[in-house]
Amino acid sequence: MQDANRLDMQISIDFNNMMERFVGEHGIGDDELNEFIEKNADIAQRVNETRDNTRWRELPYNQETVVNRILEIAESVRKNYHSFVVLGIGGSALGPIAVQKALNHLRYNELSDDLRRGPKLYIEDNIDPERIRSLFDVIDIKRTMFNVITKSGSTSETMAQLLLITYMLRNCLGDNWANHVIATTDEHKGNLVKIARQFGITTLYVPDGVGGRFSELSPVGLLPAAVCGIDIKSLLDGAAYMDKLCSVDDPQKNPAFMLAALECISMKKGCNISVMMPYADSLKEMADWYAQLWAESLGKLYDKEGCVVRTGQTPVKALGVTDQHSQIQLYAEGPFDKVITFLAVDQYRALMDIPNAYDDIPDVAFLSGHTFNELIDVERRATEYALMKSRHMSKTITLPMVNEFTIGQLMMLLELQTAYAGGILNIDAFDQPGVEEGKNATYALLGKPGYEEKALELKNMPKKMKEYML
């Protein structure tokens, strides 16, 4: 992309409505902001030094060979398969879901075969037996490629799914079953890589220092995207562009740092809830991806010195305009415990007129002659205004358009924001001990070898009492 086009496609941030001048005493004062920035000015540099956990930042620059391999695999999948099923959970699914929803046709799977740019795509991130069963009612397993994604190679949900598809593929394809599986996992650790090697399964690796929720721009997200014809080079290009914007020395010019600072100040002011509200269906799942990123990275019991801090901010997903008719009442008149981030889009990929009719009913006719594009934009600005008037903090991240380049930027921006917020809060944003506890308890309850002590701990937990049950 030409430099001028890149500039036109640069994401912008408006945080006027976070400030005291606009929302009164619940907002942030200029001095307060400046002091905070000064105090945390070296965060970006400190986060960069934790290279072992921030290798995801290098993904836009160091994957040339792997991208070419992904494009080759994707081409062959497109030619030979009718469905592509991703099996994974958490960071191994939410990124692929968000990118697909943003960049594919909004009704991708329902398009006819000649209009779709690739096979039908299913991202199966739950183990609800009914959902699993239903998948096999809509795919033809002989014409399906399964992409099993697990960084650790040991997550129970994903491994159970692998067991199931191995059984089903073997039943209908015999020895040829492994050709219908692609593994995306750690190169050195876990069981998936062992199984893949044993059966000659095509494998892509999640690089070291790239944790689950930061892995979208690795083969985790790139293969499913490429299979659907999404331009993954442009996605990485957008991520690199944002990484550079966030590499400036002046913290006030670093968009990710500023976003992190604003969220952290709002936390100090009692905003325990962070709402992300995209005004675009294509970005709805981006809010879901961000919810995991923000919650799992910042929800921590201890700080880096081992002191109990119980930090974090609860992410909430809302959709404009849909949730104007459900949640906005609470945001406007409820407690001052929320900060809202709108995701706006300047230019939608469709222009839809609102036709003229019912001239004799002015309360309806006033809509005629406008476009749905104007309507959604006006409603976003009106909601922003209403929240400002009710003295609630909000900010807006605007994408000039939803395309590969802007989605790459947005994901890198939010990943960096999260890493900087972790630095500001002095916590480890890259681990997830709370998730591990649940995973270990599952292993123990299902009798996995090595978890006998945990099983005993669970056996000795307080028994549930009848008087608390109805």
Q: In the complex with ligand PA5, which residue's Cβ is closer, 148 or 225?
A: 148
Which amino acid makes up residue 194? K
Q: In the complex with ligand PA5, which residue's Cβ is closer, 211 or 320?
A: 211
Q: In the complex with ligand PA5, which residue's Cβ is closer, 127 or 435?
A: 435
156 burial class (0-12, 13-18, 19+ CB within 10 angstroms)? middle
Is 296 labeled as catalytic in the residue annotation?
yes
d(CA 235, CA 241): 10
d(CA 251, CA 48): 14
Q: Of these residues, 325, 459, 464, 466, which one is catalytic?
A: 325
> Looking at the DSSP assignment, which residues form a beta bridge with residue 121?
84
Buried b or exposed e, range 271-308, using 16+ CB within 10 angstroms: bebbbbbbbbebbbbbbbbbbbbbbbbbbbeeeeeeee
263 burial class (0-12, 13-18, 19+ CB within 10 angstroms)? buried
Instruction: Write down how long the chain is.
Output: 470
**What is the closest distance, in whole angstroms, from the C-beta atom of residue 78 to ligand PA5 in the complex?**
25
**What is the closest distance, in whole angstroms, from the C-beta atom of residue 145 to ligand PA5 in the complex?**
19
**Are 420 and 257 in contact, with CB atoms under 8 Å apart?**
yes
Q: In the complex with ligand PA5, which residue's Cβ is closer, 150 or 383?
A: 150
Q: In the complex with ligand PA5, which residue's Cβ is closer, 147 or 396?
A: 147
Peptide bond into 77 cis (omega under 30): no
Q: In the complex with ligand PA5, which residue's Cβ is closer, 207 or 400?
A: 207
Is 452 labeled as catalytic in the residue annotation?
no
- Tell me the residue nearest to ligand PA5 as measured from the CB: 212
108 burial class (0-12, 13-18, 19+ CB within 10 angstroms)? middle
**Are 286 and 412 in contact, with CB atoms under 8 Å apart?**
no
Q: Of these residues, 105, 269, 439, 448, which one is catalytic?
A: 439
**What is the closest distance, in whole angstroms, from the C-beta atom of residue 285 to ligand PA5 in the complex?**
15
**What is the closest distance, in whole angstroms, from the C-beta atom of residue 149 to ligand PA5 in the complex?**
6
d(CA 119, CA 109): 8
Q: Of these residues, 296, 384, 404, 415, which one is catalytic?
A: 296
Q: In the complex with ligand PA5, which residue's Cβ is closer, 53 or 92?
A: 92
**What is the closest distance, in whole angstroms, from the C-beta atom of residue 297 to ligand PA5 in the complex?**
8
**What is the closest distance, in whole angstroms, from the C-beta atom of residue 27 to ligand PA5 in the complex?**
33
**Token pair of 443, please?**
């292993």
Is 325 labeled as catalytic in the residue annotation?
yes
| Residues binding ligand PA5 (CB under 6 A) | 89-92, 150-152, 155, 158, 211-213, 296, 432, 435
**What is the closest distance, in whole angstroms, from the C-beta atom of residue 289 to ligand PA5 in the complex?**
11
Query: Given strand 120-124, what is the order of strands in its sheet?
Result: 120-124, 83-87, 144-150, 181-185, 202-205
**Token pair of 427, please?**
């916590």
Closest residue by Cα to residue 317 from 293, 346, 301, 345: 293
* Gyration radius of the chain's alpha carbons: 24
Which residues belong to the active site? 296, 325, 439
